[in-house]
Amino acid sequence: MEETISLRELFAVLRKRLWLIVLITIIAATVSGVISFFVLTPVYESKTQILVNQAKNDQQLYSNQAVQTNVQLINTYNDIITSPAILDKVVKELKLDKSAQSLSGQIQVTSAQDSQVAQIVVQDTSAKRAAQIANTTASVFQKQVPKLMNVDNVKVLSKATVGESASPVKPQPLLNIAIAIVVGLMVGIGLAFLLKYLDNTLKTEQDIENILGLPVIGVVTNIKDVPKPTNVSRLDVAARVPQRGETYGS
C-alpha cells in the first residue's frame, strides 16, 4: 500500500509541475535549434584512401607474412601522416593560414582491422578546402614515405571529391534538438521534485493527516466576499419602518 501511495505522490508532483516541465523542455529545444541553425558554423568532411602494399618482384610471393607487415606499417603511417614532417608541406603547398599542429586536429587517419587500406578523413568549414587538404595530404605522404621509411609501398586508391550538394556532418540540428528535449525533461522533472522537497508548508487537510497522523476534525474557511456595512442613521431606519396599520408606500 505504501508503494501505491508513493507512486501517487510522484505522479501528483509531476502533474502539479507539468507546466514547468513543459516550459523548460520547450526553452531547451528552442535554444538548441537556434544555436544549431544560426550560431554554429557548418563543418564538412572529405575522405581519401591510400593502400599500403609492399612492391614485389617475380620471385617474391604474396604471402600472409607480407600482408601482416603492411598492416603493422599502417599504425606507423598513421602517426607520420599527422606529423609536422607531412603537414608543414601541406600547409605550404595550399598556403593555409594555420599551423601544422592546428591542421592535425582536423585530420583523422582510420583503418579497418587487418586491412591494408587507410582512410584520411578531413573536416573543415569549407567542403572544397576539406577535399584539397585530404588529397594534398595523401599526395605529400606518398612522396615523402620513400625518404622517411626507405620504402615505396603507398598508393592513392581514391581521391576526395566535392559533390554538387555537399551536406555538413555537423552540427546535426535534429539530433541536437532531440538531445535538448531529453535534457530539458530531465531538468524539469528534477526541478519539480526539488521544489517539492524544499516546500515544507501544509496546504491541504490531507497533508496534515499524512504528516501528523491525526484526523482533521474541523476546518476554518476563508470568507473572501464580506458585505461592507452601510452607513445608515437611526432616523433613516425609523423613517423607513412602517407604523402600526401602515404599509410601505402609503
Q: Residues of the chain whose pLDDT is less than 50?
A: 1-4, 58-61, 250
pLDDT of residue 148: 85
Q: Which three cell numbers stand for residue 41?
A: 558554423
pLDDT of residue 1: 41
Q: What is the pLDDT of residues 202-242, one digit of tens each?
A: 777 777 777 777 777 777 777 666 666 666 555 555 555 55
- 121: DSSP letter: E
Beta bridge partners of 154: 52
Cα-Cα end-to-end distance for the chain? 73
pTM for the full model?
Answer: 0.68
- Residue 129: how many CB atoms within 10 A of its CB? 17
pLDDT of residue 22: 95
- Residue 45: how many CB atoms within 10 A of its CB? 20
- 40: DSSP letter: S
pLDDT of residue 210: 72
Counting every residue written for the chain, the total comes to 250
Q: Which three cell numbers stand for residue 102?
A: 592546428
Q: What is the pLDDT of residues 155-165, one digit of tens each?
A: 888 889 887 77
CA 68 – CA 115 distance, rounded (Å): 9
